[in-house]
Structure 1
Amino acid sequence: MSDAATPKPTSLKAVIDQLNANESDAKALSNKEKRARTVARLVLVQALYQLDITGAGVETVIKEFSDYRFDGDLDGEPLAAADEAFFAEGARTIVKEQSAIDPLIINRLASGWRIERLDPTVRAILRAGTWELKFRTDIGLQVIINEYVEIARAFYGETEARFVNAALDGIAADVRK
Protein backbone atom coordinates (compact mmCIF):
# COMPACT_ATOMS: atom_id res chain seq x y z
CA MET A 1 0.00 0.00 0.00
CA SER A 2 3.01 2.24 0.39
CA ASP A 3 4.67 3.76 -2.64
CA ALA A 4 8.39 3.01 -2.52
CA ALA A 5 9.03 5.87 -4.96
CA THR A 6 7.66 8.43 -2.48
CA PRO A 7 10.56 10.58 -1.25
CA LYS A 8 11.40 10.52 2.44
CA PRO A 9 10.01 13.62 4.16
CA THR A 10 12.59 15.83 5.80
CA SER A 11 10.55 16.67 8.91
CA LEU A 12 7.53 15.52 10.84
CA LYS A 13 5.64 18.56 9.53
CA ALA A 14 6.45 17.33 6.01
CA VAL A 15 5.02 13.91 6.98
CA ILE A 16 1.80 15.53 8.13
CA ASP A 17 1.57 17.60 4.94
CA GLN A 18 2.29 14.54 2.75
CA LEU A 19 -0.27 12.39 4.57
CA ASN A 20 -2.97 14.99 4.25
CA ALA A 21 -2.28 15.40 0.55
CA ASN A 22 -3.01 11.69 0.04
CA GLU A 23 -5.69 11.02 2.64
CA SER A 24 -9.18 9.96 1.63
CA ASP A 25 -10.28 8.99 5.15
CA ALA A 26 -13.87 9.52 6.15
CA LYS A 27 -15.00 11.75 3.34
CA ALA A 28 -17.20 13.61 5.83
CA LEU A 29 -14.08 15.01 7.54
CA SER A 30 -12.95 18.49 6.56
CA ASN A 31 -9.30 19.10 5.65
CA LYS A 32 -8.78 20.62 9.10
CA GLU A 33 -10.29 17.51 10.75
CA LYS A 34 -8.15 15.20 8.60
CA ARG A 35 -5.02 17.12 9.59
CA ALA A 36 -6.07 16.93 13.25
CA ARG A 37 -6.47 13.17 12.95
CA THR A 38 -3.04 12.82 11.31
CA VAL A 39 -1.45 14.81 14.13
CA ALA A 40 -3.32 12.64 16.65
CA ARG A 41 -1.87 9.50 15.05
CA LEU A 42 1.65 10.86 15.21
CA VAL A 43 1.25 11.99 18.81
CA LEU A 44 -0.37 8.65 19.69
CA VAL A 45 2.75 6.85 18.52
CA GLN A 46 4.85 9.15 20.70
CA ALA A 47 2.57 8.54 23.69
CA LEU A 48 2.68 4.76 23.22
CA TYR A 49 6.47 4.98 23.07
CA GLN A 50 6.44 6.94 26.33
CA LEU A 51 4.08 4.43 27.96
CA ASP A 52 6.33 1.58 26.86
CA ILE A 53 9.59 3.17 28.01
CA THR A 54 8.50 4.83 31.26
CA GLY A 55 5.77 2.50 32.46
CA ALA A 56 3.59 5.52 33.27
CA GLY A 57 -0.16 5.02 33.38
CA VAL A 58 -2.27 5.79 30.34
CA GLU A 59 -4.31 8.51 32.05
CA THR A 60 -1.12 10.23 33.22
CA VAL A 61 0.28 10.25 29.70
CA ILE A 62 -2.99 11.44 28.15
CA LYS A 63 -3.13 14.30 30.67
CA GLU A 64 0.51 15.20 30.05
CA PHE A 65 -0.03 15.36 26.30
CA SER A 66 -3.24 17.32 26.74
CA ASP A 67 -1.73 19.80 29.21
CA TYR A 68 1.76 20.26 27.77
CA ARG A 69 2.23 18.81 24.31
CA PHE A 70 -0.79 19.74 22.23
CA ASP A 71 -0.55 23.22 20.75
CA GLY A 72 3.21 22.88 21.15
CA ASP A 73 5.78 22.09 18.53
CA LEU A 74 7.37 19.07 16.94
CA ASP A 75 10.96 19.22 15.76
CA GLY A 76 10.87 22.96 16.38
CA GLU A 77 7.86 23.48 14.13
CA PRO A 78 4.36 24.44 15.30
CA LEU A 79 2.12 21.42 15.79
CA ALA A 80 -1.29 21.69 14.18
CA ALA A 81 -4.31 21.05 16.34
CA ALA A 82 -4.74 17.36 17.10
CA ASP A 83 -7.93 15.36 17.38
CA GLU A 84 -7.48 14.93 21.12
CA ALA A 85 -10.54 12.67 21.50
CA PHE A 86 -9.19 10.31 18.81
CA PHE A 87 -5.76 10.35 20.50
CA ALA A 88 -7.22 9.58 23.95
CA GLU A 89 -9.51 6.86 22.57
CA GLY A 90 -6.55 5.23 20.88
CA ALA A 91 -4.29 5.36 23.92
CA ARG A 92 -6.97 3.98 26.26
CA THR A 93 -8.10 1.25 23.89
CA ILE A 94 -4.58 0.11 23.03
CA VAL A 95 -3.70 -0.24 26.72
CA LYS A 96 -7.01 -1.95 27.54
CA GLU A 97 -6.93 -4.26 24.51
CA GLN A 98 -3.19 -4.93 24.36
CA SER A 99 -3.81 -8.62 25.00
CA ALA A 100 -5.88 -8.68 21.77
CA ILE A 101 -3.64 -6.33 19.77
CA ASP A 102 -0.21 -7.82 20.47
CA PRO A 103 -1.03 -11.36 19.26
CA LEU A 104 -2.16 -9.90 15.92
CA ILE A 105 1.26 -8.24 15.59
CA ILE A 106 3.13 -11.33 16.79
CA ASN A 107 1.39 -13.42 14.12
CA ARG A 108 3.06 -11.19 11.50
CA LEU A 109 6.58 -11.40 12.92
CA ALA A 110 9.21 -13.83 11.73
CA SER A 111 9.16 -17.20 13.45
CA GLY A 112 10.80 -17.00 16.85
CA TRP A 113 10.58 -13.19 17.11
CA ARG A 114 9.03 -11.73 20.21
CA ILE A 115 7.27 -8.38 20.19
CA GLU A 116 9.70 -7.18 22.85
CA ARG A 117 12.52 -7.45 20.29
CA LEU A 118 10.93 -4.78 18.10
CA ASP A 119 12.22 -1.26 18.39
CA PRO A 120 9.87 0.58 20.81
CA THR A 121 8.83 3.12 18.16
CA VAL A 122 8.07 0.39 15.60
CA ARG A 123 6.12 -1.45 18.29
CA ALA A 124 4.14 1.75 19.01
CA ILE A 125 3.43 2.27 15.29
CA LEU A 126 2.21 -1.31 14.90
CA ARG A 127 0.04 -1.14 18.02
CA ALA A 128 -1.58 2.11 16.89
CA GLY A 129 -2.15 0.78 13.37
CA THR A 130 -3.54 -2.49 14.68
CA TRP A 131 -5.91 -0.62 17.01
CA GLU A 132 -7.36 1.29 14.08
CA LEU A 133 -7.57 -1.77 11.84
CA LYS A 134 -9.34 -3.84 14.49
CA PHE A 135 -11.40 -1.31 16.41
CA ARG A 136 -11.99 1.61 13.99
CA THR A 137 -13.64 -0.14 11.07
CA ASP A 138 -15.16 3.19 10.06
CA ILE A 139 -11.73 4.19 8.73
CA GLY A 140 -10.49 2.77 5.44
CA LEU A 141 -7.66 0.23 5.36
CA GLN A 142 -5.56 2.18 2.89
CA VAL A 143 -5.78 5.37 4.96
CA ILE A 144 -4.70 3.60 8.14
CA ILE A 145 -1.85 1.70 6.54
CA ASN A 146 -0.57 4.68 4.55
CA GLU A 147 -0.59 6.96 7.59
CA TYR A 148 1.42 4.57 9.75
CA VAL A 149 3.82 3.69 6.92
CA GLU A 150 4.54 7.41 6.49
CA ILE A 151 5.06 7.80 10.23
CA ALA A 152 7.53 4.90 10.11
CA ARG A 153 9.25 6.53 7.15
CA ALA A 154 9.55 9.80 9.11
CA PHE A 155 11.25 8.09 12.04
CA TYR A 156 13.34 5.61 10.10
CA GLY A 157 13.58 4.90 6.41
CA GLU A 158 12.37 2.56 3.72
CA THR A 159 13.29 -0.72 5.42
CA GLU A 160 11.15 -0.06 8.49
CA ALA A 161 8.39 1.53 6.38
CA ARG A 162 8.21 -1.62 4.23
CA PHE A 163 8.15 -3.77 7.38
CA VAL A 164 5.28 -1.72 8.85
CA ASN A 165 3.46 -1.87 5.52
CA ALA A 166 3.75 -5.67 5.29
CA ALA A 167 2.80 -6.22 8.93
CA LEU A 168 -0.25 -3.94 8.76
CA ASP A 169 -1.33 -5.42 5.41
CA GLY A 170 -1.27 -8.87 7.03
CA ILE A 171 -3.06 -7.68 10.15
CA ALA A 172 -5.72 -6.04 7.97
CA ALA A 173 -6.27 -9.37 6.21
CA ASP A 174 -6.61 -11.06 9.61
CA VAL A 175 -9.07 -8.62 11.20
CA ARG A 176 -11.12 -7.34 8.27
CA LYS A 177 -12.06 -10.55 6.51
Structure 2
Amino acid sequence: MTQISGKARAAARLAAVQALYQIDMEGTELRFLLDEFHQHRLGAEIEDVEYLKADVAFFDDVVKGVDARRDEIDDMLSAKLAKGWALPRLDKTMLQILRAGTYELMARKDVNVGTAITEYVDVAHAFFEDREAKFVNGILDAVAKDVR
Protein backbone atom coordinates (compact mmCIF):
# COMPACT_ATOMS: atom_id res chain seq x y z
CA MET A 1 0.00 0.00 0.00
CA THR A 2 1.41 3.37 -0.92
CA GLN A 3 1.61 6.26 1.48
CA ILE A 4 -0.98 8.16 -0.56
CA SER A 5 -3.52 5.35 -0.30
CA GLY A 6 -2.80 5.14 3.43
CA LYS A 7 -3.56 8.83 3.77
CA ALA A 8 -6.66 8.42 1.60
CA ARG A 9 -7.89 5.63 3.85
CA ALA A 10 -7.14 7.68 6.99
CA ALA A 11 -9.15 10.55 5.49
CA ALA A 12 -11.95 8.11 4.64
CA ARG A 13 -12.04 6.84 8.23
CA LEU A 14 -12.28 10.34 9.68
CA ALA A 15 -14.98 11.30 7.17
CA ALA A 16 -16.88 8.08 7.91
CA VAL A 17 -16.95 8.92 11.62
CA GLN A 18 -18.24 12.40 10.77
CA ALA A 19 -20.90 10.96 8.45
CA LEU A 20 -22.03 8.40 11.03
CA TYR A 21 -22.26 11.17 13.61
CA GLN A 22 -24.46 13.16 11.24
CA ILE A 23 -26.73 10.15 10.66
CA ASP A 24 -27.01 9.59 14.41
CA MET A 25 -27.65 13.22 15.32
CA GLU A 26 -29.77 14.41 12.39
CA GLY A 27 -31.24 11.20 11.00
CA THR A 28 -30.05 12.11 7.50
CA GLU A 29 -31.05 9.46 4.98
CA LEU A 30 -28.01 7.42 3.95
CA ARG A 31 -28.15 8.10 0.20
CA PHE A 32 -28.44 11.87 0.73
CA LEU A 33 -25.63 11.84 3.24
CA LEU A 34 -23.30 9.89 0.95
CA ASP A 35 -24.10 12.27 -1.90
CA GLU A 36 -23.37 15.28 0.31
CA PHE A 37 -19.98 13.86 1.32
CA HIS A 38 -19.12 12.89 -2.28
CA GLN A 39 -20.10 16.28 -3.69
CA HIS A 40 -19.04 18.66 -0.96
CA ARG A 41 -16.71 17.17 1.66
CA LEU A 42 -14.31 14.50 0.46
CA GLY A 43 -11.32 16.35 -0.95
CA ALA A 44 -13.16 19.70 -0.91
CA GLU A 45 -12.26 23.01 0.64
CA ILE A 46 -14.84 24.42 3.06
CA GLU A 47 -14.35 27.77 4.79
CA ASP A 48 -10.59 27.68 4.09
CA VAL A 49 -10.30 24.15 5.51
CA GLU A 50 -9.06 21.72 2.90
CA TYR A 51 -10.31 18.18 3.36
CA LEU A 52 -7.91 15.45 2.35
CA LYS A 53 -8.64 13.32 -0.66
CA ALA A 54 -10.32 10.24 0.69
CA ASP A 55 -10.67 6.68 -0.58
CA VAL A 56 -14.33 7.11 -1.54
CA ALA A 57 -15.07 3.40 -1.98
CA PHE A 58 -13.59 2.68 1.46
CA PHE A 59 -15.59 5.57 2.99
CA ASP A 60 -18.80 4.26 1.41
CA ASP A 61 -18.12 0.71 2.64
CA VAL A 62 -17.56 1.80 6.25
CA VAL A 63 -20.59 4.10 6.38
CA LYS A 64 -22.94 1.66 4.62
CA GLY A 65 -21.53 -1.29 6.59
CA VAL A 66 -22.05 0.38 9.97
CA ASP A 67 -25.53 1.45 8.93
CA ALA A 68 -26.47 -2.07 7.79
CA ARG A 69 -24.92 -3.91 10.76
CA ARG A 70 -25.54 -1.35 13.54
CA ASP A 71 -27.41 -3.75 15.85
CA GLU A 72 -24.74 -6.44 15.53
CA ILE A 73 -21.97 -3.86 16.05
CA ASP A 74 -23.72 -2.30 19.04
CA ASP A 75 -24.22 -5.74 20.64
CA MET A 76 -20.50 -6.45 20.19
CA LEU A 77 -19.55 -3.08 21.70
CA SER A 78 -22.00 -3.39 24.60
CA ALA A 79 -20.39 -6.70 25.55
CA LYS A 80 -16.98 -4.98 25.77
CA LEU A 81 -18.01 -2.11 28.02
CA ALA A 82 -17.35 -2.22 31.76
CA LYS A 83 -20.16 -3.36 34.02
CA GLY A 84 -22.66 -0.56 34.54
CA TRP A 85 -21.81 1.15 31.26
CA ALA A 86 -24.09 1.25 28.23
CA LEU A 87 -23.66 2.69 24.74
CA PRO A 88 -26.01 5.65 25.39
CA ARG A 89 -23.58 6.84 28.10
CA LEU A 90 -20.78 7.22 25.57
CA ASP A 91 -20.02 10.50 23.86
CA LYS A 92 -21.74 10.47 20.44
CA THR A 93 -18.47 10.97 18.55
CA MET A 94 -16.79 8.24 20.58
CA LEU A 95 -19.62 5.86 19.73
CA GLN A 96 -19.17 6.48 15.99
CA ILE A 97 -15.42 5.89 16.23
CA LEU A 98 -16.06 2.58 17.98
CA ARG A 99 -18.77 1.57 15.51
CA ALA A 100 -16.59 2.31 12.49
CA GLY A 101 -13.61 0.51 14.01
CA THR A 102 -15.70 -2.49 14.97
CA TYR A 103 -17.20 -2.72 11.49
CA GLU A 104 -13.76 -2.60 9.93
CA LEU A 105 -12.46 -5.33 12.24
CA MET A 106 -15.53 -7.49 11.56
CA ALA A 107 -15.89 -7.01 7.81
CA ARG A 108 -12.62 -5.78 6.31
CA LYS A 109 -10.32 -8.78 6.61
CA ASP A 110 -8.09 -7.06 4.02
CA VAL A 111 -7.11 -4.51 6.68
CA ASN A 112 -4.52 -5.52 9.26
CA VAL A 113 -5.87 -5.51 12.84
CA GLY A 114 -3.06 -3.26 14.10
CA THR A 115 -3.59 -0.80 11.27
CA ALA A 116 -7.34 -0.57 11.88
CA ILE A 117 -6.95 -0.04 15.63
CA THR A 118 -4.13 2.50 15.24
CA GLU A 119 -6.10 4.46 12.66
CA TYR A 120 -9.18 4.75 14.89
CA VAL A 121 -7.00 5.69 17.87
CA ASP A 122 -5.65 8.47 15.62
CA VAL A 123 -9.23 9.53 14.80
CA ALA A 124 -9.97 9.58 18.55
CA HIS A 125 -6.97 11.89 19.07
CA ALA A 126 -8.60 14.36 16.64
CA PHE A 127 -11.51 14.75 19.08
CA PHE A 128 -10.32 13.63 22.51
CA GLU A 129 -7.44 13.46 24.96
CA ASP A 130 -5.11 10.48 25.52
CA ARG A 131 -7.42 8.82 28.06
CA GLU A 132 -10.25 8.48 25.55
CA ALA A 133 -7.87 7.36 22.78
CA LYS A 134 -6.63 4.60 25.11
CA PHE A 135 -10.26 3.63 25.71
CA VAL A 136 -10.75 3.26 21.92
CA ASN A 137 -7.60 1.15 21.76
CA GLY A 138 -8.80 -1.14 24.56
CA ILE A 139 -12.31 -1.65 23.22
CA LEU A 140 -11.19 -2.26 19.62
CA ASP A 141 -8.46 -4.62 20.80
CA ALA A 142 -11.09 -6.64 22.70
CA VAL A 143 -13.36 -6.66 19.62
CA ALA A 144 -10.47 -7.81 17.42
CA LYS A 145 -9.78 -10.77 19.72
CA ASP A 146 -13.37 -11.93 19.17
CA VAL A 147 -13.74 -11.32 15.44
CA ARG A 148 -10.28 -12.12 14.11
- What's the offset of the Cα at 1:80? 2.0
TM-score, length-normalised on structure 1?
Answer: 0.80
Q: Does 1:43 align with 2:15?
A: yes
Q: Does 1:60 align with 2:41?
A: no
| Superimposed CA distance per residue, residues 115-148 of structure 1 (whole angstroms, 9 cap, x where no aligned partner) | 1111110000000000110000111011000010
Q: Does 1:159 align with 2:131?
A: yes
1:14-163 matches, within 5 Å, as 29-73=1-45, 76-163=48-135
The separation in 1 between residues aligned to 2:7 and 2:47, in whole angstroms, is: 17
The one-letter code of the counterpart of 1:125 is I
Q: Secondary structure at the match of 1:82?
A: coil
The one-letter code of the counterpart of 2:36 is E
| Superimposed CA distance per residue, residues 60-81 of structure 1 (whole angstroms, 9 cap, x where no aligned partner) | 1111101111222478442221
TM-score, length-normalised on structure 2?
Answer: 0.95
The separation in 2 between residues aligned to 1:73 and 1:168, in whole angstroms, is: 32
Q: Between Structure 1 and Structure 2, which shows a larger proportion of helix residues?
A: 2
Q: Secondary structure at the match of 2:83?
A: coil
| Greater length-normalized contact order (CA 8 Å, ≥ 6 residues apart) | 1
Q: Secondary structure at the match of 2:115?
A: helix
Runs of at least 5 residues in structure 1 that lack an aligned partner in the other structure? 1-28
Following TM superposition, the consecutive aligned residue runs of length 4 or more in structure 1 with deviations greater than 6 angstroms are none
The 1:135/1:91 distance shift into structure 2, 3 A limit, reads same
The separation in 2 between residues aligned to 1:68 and 1:142, in whole angstroms, is: 31
Q: CA RMSD in A?
A: 1.4
Runs of at least 5 residues in structure 2 that lack an aligned partner in the other structure? none
- What's the offset of the Cα at 1:112? 2.4
- What's the offset of the Cα at 1:93? 0.9
Q: Secondary structure at the match of 1:107?
A: helix
The 1:147/1:75 distance shift into structure 2, 3 A limit, reads farther
